[in-house]
Every structure is written in C-alpha cells, then in structure tokens.
Amino acid sequence: MSIFADNLKRLQEVQAISGIKDEEMKVLLEPVQNKYVELEIEGEKYPAWRILYNRALGPGKGGIRFHPEVSEDEVKSLAFWMTLKNSLADIPYGGAKGGVKFNPKGLSEQKLEAISRAYAHAFAPYLGQDKDIPAPDVYTNGKIMSWMLDEFEQVVGHHEPGMITGKPVELGGIKMRGDATAQGGYIVIKEMVSKFLAGKKNLSFAVQGFGNAGSFIAEKLAADGFVMVAASDSSGGVYQADGLDVSKLAQFKQAAGSLSSYEEGTKISNAELLETEVDILILAALENQITELNADKIKAKYIVELANGPVDFAADKILASKGTLIVPDILANSGGVITSYFEWAQNRTGQILDEEYLRVLLDKKMKANWTAVYEKYLAAENKITLRQAAYWLAINRILIAEKYRGRIS
C-alpha cells in the first residue's frame, strides 16, 4: 500500500470540494527536493532520505525517524503532512522529513551516534536554519539531535543551533519540548469535548502507542477525570474496564521499556485495542493502523490522530459513513512543531522567553487552529469532515504564498 498514493486521493478530494484549479494543484503533487544516500558504517549500509516537500511559506521543517520500515514513500508522505501541518498552524515553515532505514533497538550508543553523525554529515549541504530544520521523530530524541547538531557545525565551521530543534536545554532547546505534542493534542481534545461531548463525565479513552506523546496525553486526561481503559505499545497492550492507573503504567513503561510484562489488567493486542469500546480513541503509533480491513470494527465515536497518518483514505470513508469524528493529525499533533518553532525563533534571535509565556502561546495557537478548522467544518454544514476542512485551509495558505511568489497565476 502506497501511503503517498493515499495522500493524492485526499488532495483530489479536497480539490473537488474547494474548486482549486489543476495548475494550482501541481505545486503540491511532488516534493521540491528529494535526497537519498546510503550511510556506510563499519561495512554496513543504511538507506537514508531527506525530502523537502514545499517551501513556499518558509524553510523546510520536519523530523528524522529511525525505523526498520522507513521508505521513500513514507518519508515523502510525512514531508507532505508536515507541509500541511505547518501551513495550518500558521508558522513560517514549509514541510520536510527524514529517515534512516534500520532497527535502532538494541544497538549500542556508539553505533547510534555513528549513524546520527553520518546522517548529519551526508545531508549537511541541504540543512540549515534558513534551509531545512530537522527535529526528533520515531526512535530519535534530544541526544541524537545533539550529535547531529555537533556534526553539522563541524562541517559548516560555525555555531548554528537553529538548524535543528528538540535539543537539550543546554544546547539551545526549550524545556516544554518533551510534552509539547501531547499538550497540543490535549488542548484539542478539550476543545472537541466542549463542542461535541459537553456535560458528559468520566469519558473513556484508549491509547495506541503508549510512548512519549501517548503516555503524556494519557496523564493529562486522567488528571481531568477521563478514564483510560486500554493502552498499548509495539509489544502489545493491557485492558481494564474500570480504568487503568495511568501514572503507574507510565512509570512501569519508563522502567521496563515496554508494556509486555505489566501484570495488572487483561493482555490485549494492538488490533484488539483499536476495536475497544471507548468514547475517544487516541492513535499515537504509526501510519495505516486503521484501514478498510478493520474500520467497520472501530467502536469509538471520536478518534484523535496524535500520530501521522494512522487512518488511511479508505478507512476515512468508512468511518465517516458511520458518523465517527476524526480530529486529523495535521491539527491534533501540531503542538510539537509549534513548540519547535518557538525553539528555532529563540535560537535565531538569542532572546530567551519564559516557559509559562510559551505555554500560554501554545494554548492560544492550538485553540485558534481548532476554531479555524471547526468553523470551516460548520460553514460546510457538516458536509465535509474535519480532515477536509483542515486540508482546505492549509492548502489555501500555501497556494496564496505560491501566487505571491509568482509560481502560479
């Protein structure tokens, strides 16, 4: 299954409802820069990509993932989503993404550092605070960003902390980056609940992908009285009808590295978690988790995409026909890139902003983005989905920028 082919179907769908011309749509059909190398470390080769999809609104921005299933199709799709996400968030970035195809689990720190540095060295000519700014993604973190920053600065011969985000505070990062994606998703869920589930108490939820973002958002929701009945990671999951102890589960995951040996509750598979009867299903794992093969089995009435692309095009159609409301990834998980923007802006200006001020700013921005999408959805008298509304807004901003640049008429 091509993820990118799925994206093109969604583009065509939005084009049909918005009246965008074919010549305008051409600027969104292919990336402007697609770079591939094979990193060679100790005789082993690692396929690696950096794809810049669009830069009409600013330099490229998007994470780097280390994963055994990384492919050009996936990286191109992720870069496409970043383009729309940054546009919808109204921050001055285009969209980009990177990846290295290998399994980082179990590798020594020395090997991870070698791969990280090799990536930064190979793609250094295409990266930079005014060109393309990477960040952490699946199986990458602040330590890996530090190695990449150091390698890049050795190549270019000067300090440039703004070339990468998600760094430790000591290297120019900001404290709130760790839970930024979860915080943004939490804000959007609260807005969604106020519009669609107002007055309802003890709302149940399940989290697929109980990692960094998934555990953070679970703790935030639990503190507000939501009840988590199921959670899973790549090793499997647990279910408890009357609610799991979120803090205890998060501490266990932090210590053990997976949920596989958690003794409380009933063990379930990822597939079973997706089909759990809950009010809100939070998808915080990988792409294509809900497809036409399981969409009709989904019982949750509300789905929040904290991961990128967890619901494919065919599943979107099935779920919409059932009345399931999906808060799309380009809205729900944009807290991470908005906070990356704060970090980049501080690195560029040298001005250190108070964390509380930035949290208030994130709150305002997420609420404004939700409101724009929700009002677009309402204006169409519920004849479009929240995803279509979000895509419509994001695409329109990009096309306006392309027109001002003279690339389309």
pLDDT digits (tens, 9 = 90+) for 108-147: 999 999 999 999 999 999 999 999 999 999 899 999 999 9
Q: Return the closest-CA partner of residue 395 out of 59, 60, 13.
A: 13
pLDDT for 100: 98
Q: What predicted TM-score, i.e. pTM, was given to this entire model? A: 0.94
Tokens of 406: 């003279």
Nearest alpha carbon to residue 325 among 192, 218, 217: 192
Q: pLDDT of 164-192, one tens digit each?
A: 999 999 999 998 877 899 999 999 999 99
pLDDT over 90 percentage in the chain: 87
Average pLDDT score over the chain: 95
Pick from 49, 19, 54: nearest CA to 35: 49
Q: How confident is the model at residue 340 (pLDDT cuts 50, 70, 90)?
A: very high
The C-alpha atoms of residue 262 and residue 256 are separated, in whole angstroms, by 9
Q: What is the predicted pLDDT for the residue at 351?
A: 87
For residue range 211-226, list pLDDT tens digits in order.
889 999 999 999 999 9
| Res 56 pLDDT > 90 | yes
The answer to whether the 31-170 and 174-409 domains have the same CATH topology is yes
CATH architecture of 31-170: 3-Layer(aba) Sandwich (3.40)
Distance between CA 14 and CA 352 in Å, rounded?
40
- Answer whether 57's CB lies under 8 Å from 403's CB: no
Query: Domain limits of the chain?
Result: 31-170, 174-409
Q: How many residues does the chain have?
A: 409
The CA distance from 92 to 133, in Å, is: 12
CA atoms of 398 and 18, how far apart (whole Å): 14
CATH hierarchy code of domain 174-409: 3.40.50.720
CB 302 within 8 Å of CB 281: yes
204 in Cβ contact with 226 (< 8 Å): yes
- From the CB of residue 200, how many other CB atoms can be counted at a distance below 10 Å? 9
Alpha-carbon span 333 to 185, nearest angstrom: 6
Per-residue pLDDT, averaged over 237-247, amounts to 94
Q: State yes or no: pLDDT of 312 exceeds 70.
A: yes
Instruction: In whole angstroms, give the CA distance from residue 341 to residue 133.
Output: 10
Whether 1 has a pLDDT exceeding 70, the answer reads no
Q: Could you give the residue numbers annotated as active site? A: 97
